[in-house]
Amino acid sequence: MTNHPSSRNHDSPGHGQADTTPASPAPSRPAPSNGVPGKAAPAKSAPFNGVPVKAAPAKRAPAKSAPSKTVPAKKAPPKMTSAKPTPPKSAPGKSAPSKTTGTGTAPAAGLIPLVSPVRPNNKAARSVLRKLVQGEAPPTAPMNIVERLAGTPYANFTIQVGQAEESARKTIDFALRLAETMFRYGAGALEVETSIIAVTAALGLRNIEVDITNQSVVINYAPHEAVPITLLRVVRSWTNNYAGLVDVHELVTDIAGGGVSREEASRRLDVITKRPKPFPRWMVAMAEAVFGAAVVGVIGGSGLGALVAFLTILLAGQVARVLGKWKVPDFFVTAISSFIITVLALVFFMLHVPLSPSIVVAGGILLMLPSGRLVSAVQDAINGFPVSAAGRFLSAFLTFGAIVAGISVALVLSALLGMARLDVTEDLRSVLPVYWSLLLVAVATVAICIAEQTAVRLLLPTMAVAVVGYLAYFYGLELGLGGRFAPAVGAVAIGFLARIVALRLRAPQLVVAVPSILFLLVGLSIFRAMFVLTLTPDDSVTGAVGLFNALVVILAVAAGVVLGDNMARPFTRGQGHRDRRSNRRR
């Protein structure tokens, strides 16, 4: 059987073309002379009727050849027909490039397997890019409440293994008692929340939610496929007891470290609440008077002015203690005390004592000013507790209103008696050398620590922090930072050092920072502004501007303390590593 050269299939070897067809394991049956294709074994071949044989699975343009009825069907090898090469992505009608031999055309794609191009597989680069674009967590994922402990002294807590779910009610009751005690002793909302989270997590409770307002704490425990528990505790009384707050902080630290069970922790909390305060009442009264006298010296008063401030604070404190026993509301107690102080200023003015009335009034109302409460309110707002911040702000401004009311009544009575009107809003400036001011600041800080019932071991460290903060404030004024920015610089220094010192001494940062910032006298500026705004209608614009400036200073001081606390966190990680090693030893 002969084939015409023009009728040869382009897929078969022709003139000048090498035969690249692999040897077949079994010969194929030749096609009959009438053009009907025979069956090849073991693969089937399609008849050639002018349409090219489809080579799988690459898409090729059909090869044009002259029709012939005598061309035998080409058998595909078994190996090549069973393989399924990945077709390349190419435009339709274009064949994939293949290697040619000699001067002939390329062999069919079905005979040579096509290999797809290899793509670079750099998992590290894709991972870094994904983190930069997406972040570590999905943006809509809820935040785990335990993440609130990041950066706190309780970040490395140890979970106690036991039947926590069966005693969940007792654990929640203990956590509520702990929170109530902390609120009564003067802790902020952030300290209370982190303590509750650390205690419940260490005692094995999950699915806990905490809600804190100005005077109430709500804990919700909702385990999966179980009845949820929600308990509420309201705080109805407050007292100055920083020493008790330090003991509670140590208790929470021990629970988070895994060394105290719930029963033992409950017994220790009972001991803390029943323990007497470190300083007696007479010593507290003397410390309050010493604080007022020292601050009068810092703000520019003379020795006589400091003595008058000492006496007026002693008298006002005794009156307030008696009214407190009679269950008189705090608003009226503050108003009556400020009235008595203003009457004393009028008496000294009538006796022609060489004293500025503003010195007498400022020295007498220093301890009544809610400076610490204002700073705590701003801190709660910054830390994400707006309800608690609003309650503290309202309480602080009510106290300012009571002070202004008491002074106003005394001035109105003096005007009815024909006396000249006193100016109690005189701006005071320190005229002492810096070393005398530092000495007075140290004495005032120790005195206010005694008045706040701070632990004895924290007296000297707190005094050192206050002295450094005052130096930062003083040199900020000397450098021309102004009366708004210089207090913020001093507050940042205090917040930074207070965190480091408190963590070293196993105490909360609050008990070191709050006594150290009172020398900034943020409350005194607000009192002056409110007094001018209330009693001098013709100068109400000055009073409004003064009130705005005072609020800006308070915001700067509170934000500075929080900023300093956050800046000190990288320097306190060693303490966390030591706690983690201690937990592993247990």
What is the DSSP annotation of 200-257? HHHTT--SEEEEE-SSEEEEEE--TTS--EEEEEE-------HHHHHHHHHHHHHHHT
What average pLDDT does range 269-293 have in this prediction? Answer: 93
Q: Which residue has the higher pLDDT, 219 or 483?
A: 219
pLDDT at 464: 95
Amino acid at 286: M
pLDDT at 36 over 60: no
What average pLDDT does range 369-389 have in this prediction? Answer: 85
pLDDT at 496 over 90: yes
Coil, strand or helix at 258: coil
Phi, psi of 108 (to 5 degrees): -65, 150
Sign for the pseudo-dihedral over CA of 428, 430, 431, 432: positive
> pLDDT exceeding 70 applies to what percent of the chain?
67
Q: Which residue has the higher pLDDT, 513 or 2?
A: 513
Least confident among 23-37, 109-123, 247-261: 23-37
Strands 229-234 and 208-212: unpaired
pLDDT at 463: 95
Q: Are 62 and 28 in contact (CB under 8 A)?
A: no
pLDDT at 57: 47
Residue in the structure block whose two tokens are 């592993």: 584
pLDDT band of residue 501 (cuts 50, 70, 90) is very high
pLDDT at 224 over 70: yes
pLDDT at 182: 93
Q: Is the bond into 52 cis (omega within 30 degrees of 0)?
A: no
Crossing angle for the helix pair 262-274 and 242-256, to the nearest 10 degrees: 170
pLDDT band of residue 51 (cuts 50, 70, 90) is very low
Least confident among 59-63, 253-257, 361-365, 386-390: 59-63
What average pLDDT does range 273-283 have in this prediction? Answer: 93
Q: Are 517 and 561 in contact (CB under 8 A)?
A: yes
pLDDT band of residue 465 (cuts 50, 70, 90) is very high
- CB neighbourhood size of 495 (10 A): 29
Closest CA to 406 of 319, 471, 472: 319
Q: Are 434 and 474 in contact (CB under 8 A)?
A: yes
CA 381 to chain centre: 12
pLDDT at 376 over 80: yes
pLDDT at 99: 46
pLDDT band of residue 155 (cuts 50, 70, 90) is low
- Tell me the helix, strand and coil percentages in the chain, rounded to 5: 55, 5, 40
pLDDT at 346: 83
Return the C-alpha torsion angle 100, 103, 107, 112, nearest 10. -20
pLDDT at 12: 41
pLDDT band of residue 132 (cuts 50, 70, 90) is low
pLDDT at 375: 80
Q: Which residue has the higher pLDDT, 571 or 156?
A: 571
Token pair belonging to 445:
């800080």
pLDDT at 419: 74
pLDDT at 433: 83
pLDDT at 77: 47
What average pLDDT does range 44-66 have in this prediction? Answer: 45
What average pLDDT does range 365-387 have in this prediction? Answer: 84
pLDDT at 217 over 80: yes
pTM over 0.75: no
Amino acid at 165: E
Residue in the structure block whose two tokens are 């303490």: 575
Rounded mean pLDDT of the chain? 75
pLDDT at 543: 76
pLDDT at 160: 61
What average pLDDT does range 483-500 have in this prediction? Answer: 90
Least confident among 374-383, 481-490, 534-543, 545-554: 534-543
pLDDT at 528: 75
| pLDDT tens digits, 556-567 | 888 899 899 888
What average pLDDT does range 157-178 have in this prediction? Answer: 76
What average pLDDT does range 82-105 have in this prediction? Answer: 45
pLDDT at 428: 63
State how far the Cα of 371 lies from the Cα of 373, in Å rounded to an integer. Answer: 5
What average pLDDT does range 175-202 have in this prediction? Answer: 90
Give one DSSP letter per residue of 291-323, joined into a string: HHHHHHHHTT--HHHHHHHHHHHHHHHHHHHHH
Amino acid at 124: A
pLDDT at 161: 52
Closest CA to 295 of 316, 310, 283: 310
Q: Which residue has the higher pLDDT, 479 or 151?
A: 479
> pLDDT exceeding 90 applies to what percent of the chain?
23
Q: Are 344 and 312 in contact (CB under 8 A)?
A: yes
CA 237 to chain centre: 29
State how far the Cα of 563 lies from the Cα of 509, in Å rounded to an integer. Answer: 13
pLDDT band of residue 146 (cuts 50, 70, 90) is low
Which range is most confident: 258-262, 357-361, 577-581?
Answer: 258-262
